[in-house]
Amino acid sequence: MAALISPHGSDALNPLYVAEPARNAVLSEQAESLPSITVSSAAASNAVMMAAGYFNPLTGYMNKEDALSVAENMHTKSGLFWPTPILNLLEKAPAIGPRQQVALRDPNVDGNPILAIMTVDAIERFTDDEFTSMTQKVFGTTDPNHPGVADFTSQGRVALSGRIQVLNYSYFPSEFPDTFRTAVEIRQDIEKNGWSKVVAFQTRNPMHRAHEELCRIAMERLEADGLVIHMLLGKLKPGDIPADVRDASIRKMVEVYFPPNSAIISGYGFDMLYAGPREALLHAVFRQNMGATHLIVGRDHAGVGDYYGPFDAQTIFDEIPDDALKIEIFAADHTAWSKKLNKVTMMREAPDHEKDDFILLSGTAVREMLGEGKAPPPEFSRPEVAQILIDHYRQQS
């Protein structure tokens, strides 16, 4: 059996979760006597991603120099390729000194339990100019109406950097016990299945026919052994479908329409950035860490609104050094049901088609239909998936 793809930046994964139970218990007890800080949701999700091995080989939150270097050049000062700053931002500097340990408390769980212990390397403030420049580089805009920009700029300007030891995975294992998986666990599942060529599909939405067929097309053309449907389980912008509803609809689709043992359904604990091209690169980094050899990057991948060109998230991969990543992308076009061909196809592969030859529905139109209890056409959405979404919208009304 072929060896799994190497993690990013190291020979083996370095998950920052303290897995040994006795050691975890000792640190958890010690943490209660440390000064503590309740971090932002973004910083908490960064900790979960480092704990799970997804952000290998990082050992903690970036300092100011690394964050600015990553924003500007997509590498840390030591030369590690990395597309987005991984920060613990605060509104004001805490009264602690370098090398001191501090307990990081979880903002997303009742009672704000301790999530991690951090050994502080530095407490640094970004100037307004530095922060604006970093925001522009990462998100391609400083527009406060951009949901990722709005969240990023609300976290504060003080960066607390240093190594972390993570004591739990926040709310993700309890809320998504069948779906939340670490990079370590997904590697184990891939190995157990005997897969070597593995396609990853990123989603923050339910999967309709076009998504389903896109996964099938990628697997066939790449002659892949298996598929990992990897859904975001963290915070989204208002109006997005909740993770538990997405989870149920995706599971139903795979159960009914995919061959047995051809797809792993899993999720990761991260808050969406909506950073388009930069986030697509981050998606590639942590899919490599979980053992995928290919990532499907579609039209407007990780984007929002009209901030990015439809294929910016694909072309950015041409702009990074050849040796930056081992994972490859499967570049996909908008995919839809063709009335002429009587199947789902990528639109660029149907040059003889007009727009009216496809069944195309806007997100707004689909939400309105579901809200009225009407299923979209079966060429657009599987009826079993549509019913789960109709039930969700019915509960909202």
> What is the reported pLDDT for 144?
98
> What is the reported pLDDT for 1?
55
Burial, 229: exposed, middle or buried (Cβ in 10 Å; 0-12, 13-18, 19+)? buried
SS3 category, 159: strand
Token pair in block for residue 280: 């697509």
* HEC-encoded secondary structure of 320-385: CCCCCCCCEEEECCCEEEECCCCEEEEHHHCCCCCHHHEECCCHHHHHHHHHCCCCCCCCCCCHHH
Token pair in block for residue 108: 């997303």
Closest by Cα among 11, 46, 70, 142 to 320:
70
User: Residue 165 CB: number of other CB atoms within 10 A?
Assistant: 21
Cα dihedral 346, 334, 267, 85, rounded to 10, equals 130
> What is the reported pLDDT for 2?
67
> What is the reported pLDDT for 60?
98
CA 340, CA 235: separation in Å to the nearest integer? 40
24 noted as active-site residue: no
CA 10, CA 16: separation in Å to the nearest integer? 14
CA 302, CA 210: separation in Å to the nearest integer? 17
Choose, from 163, 205, 216, 367, the residue flagged as catalytic: 205
Place of tokens 């998230």: 313
pLDDT for 205-253, tens place per residue? 899 999 999 999 999 999 999 999 999 999 888 888 888 999 999 999 9
> What is the reported pLDDT for 259?
95
pLDDT in tens, the chain (397 residues): 568 999 999 999 999 999 999 999 999 999 999 999 999 999 999 999 999 999 999 999 999 999 999 999 999 999 999 999 999 999 999 988 888 999 999 999 999 999 999 999 999 999 999 999 999 999 999 999 999 999 999 999 999 999 999 999 999 999 999 999 999 999 999 999 999 999 999 999 899 999 999 999 999 999 999 999 999 999 888 888 888 999 999 999 999 999 999 999 999 999 999 999 999 999 999 999 999 999 999 999 999 999 999 999 999 999 999 999 999 999 999 999 999 999 999 999 999 999 999 999 988 899 899 999 999 999 999 999 999 999 999 988 7
- Beta strand pairing status for 335-338 and 343-346? antiparallel
> What is the reported pLDDT for 239?
80
Provide the sign of the torsion angle of the four alpha carbons 347, 349, 354, 358, taken in this order.
negative
Choose, from 163, 204, 216, 251, the residue flagged as catalytic: 204
> What is the reported pLDDT for 364?
84
Closest by Cα among 55, 30, 85 to 268:
55
Closest by Cα among 147, 134, 167 to 62:
134
205 noted as active-site residue: yes
> Which class does domain 178-396 fall in?
alpha beta
Burial, 259: exposed, middle or buried (Cβ in 10 Å; 0-12, 13-18, 19+)? exposed
Domain range summary for the chain, segments of one domain joined by +: 21-173, 178-396
> What is the reported pLDDT for 179?
96
DSSP annotation of 308 = S
pLDDT for 97-118, tens place per residue? 888 999 999 999 999 999 999 9
> What is the reported pLDDT for 230?
98
Buried b (16+ CB within 10 A) or exposed e, 190-203: beeeebbebbbbbb
Token pair in block for residue 9: 């930046």
* HEC-encoded secondary structure of 241-270: CCHHHHHHHHHHHHHHHCCCCCEEEEEECC
CA 199, CA 204: separation in Å to the nearest integer? 17
The CA distances from residue 89 to 24, 121, 123, 234, 361, in Å, are 25, 14, 10, 18, 40
Length of the chain (residues):
397
Determine the CATH number of domain 21-173: 3.10.400.10
CA 138, CA 73: separation in Å to the nearest integer? 10
SS3 category, 118: strand
